[in-house]
Structure 1
């Protein structure tokens, strides 16, 4: 579960390295987020000479979480780190590549491009 003040890794080539969650979106009283949810983040660490700068506020979607996710078949899925993909204000991906694996639960109408760019689905 991701909540406010959680630090997360960035798994695309947008230029950010580490971000911090400042708000969980899609609900006024929602306190935690899981894989596939949207959050608002602030960039804490970025790559030199990138378009993403430290202190910038962006949207993000969670693609990996340490907290176990229960699937419909009864199995559980958890990862070794918490990771996000950075999005712009129109909820389009900033980066053009995705590093590492992502969960199949991300498949939605809006993110068909995300599935095609990922190297492996789990």
Structure 2
């Protein structure tokens, strides 16, 4: 469960390390869009600290119940930065691509991940 003020790890090579959620559209769960500001960055990358950007939640600590009554849970809260057209900013994404990303039509994120389930 992601609420306003949550700090989340960024799992792509766009340059951001941590994002703080400003405007979740509701109590956000796996595979939903959120908006936030970037708090920590790597040097000489595409994004800068303090910029407002959109992201998609790819992993959450809270147990998420799927439609087939199976559940999924991760060790960390993480996200991937996207632009206005729901295309990821980065070219490489570390982490998992889940079925919920496919349902919400984030197909380019799934193609960029190494593990899909």
Q: What's 2:39 paired with?
A: 44
2:115 to 112, 117, 120: 120
- The separation in 2 between residues aligned to 1:76 and 1:8, in whole angstroms, is 21
- Cα deviation for residue 12 of structure 1 reads 0.8
- Cα deviation for residue 108 of structure 1 reads 3.8
Q: What are the residue-to-residue correspondences of 1:92-107 with 2, within 5 Å? A: 92-107=87-102
- The separation in 2 between residues aligned to 1:112 and 1:12, in whole angstroms, is 16
- The separation in 1 between residues aligned to 2:16 and 2:33, in whole angstroms, is 17
- The separation in 1 between residues aligned to 2:100 and 2:81, in whole angstroms, is 17
Using the TM superposition, name which of 65-74 and 84-93 deviates more: 84-93
Q: What's 2:77 paired with?
A: 82
> In the alignment, does 2:18 pair up with 1:18?
yes
Contact 2:15/2:47 (<8 A) preserved: yes
SS at match of 2:37: strand
- Cα deviation for residue 94 of structure 1 reads 0.3
- The separation in 1 between residues aligned to 2:85 and 2:40, in whole angstroms, is 23
Give a deviation string over 1:50-108, Cα, whole Å, max 9, x none: 12111010000101000000012212110000000001233221000110223221104
SS at match of 2:36: strand
Unpaired segments ≥5 residues, structure 1: none
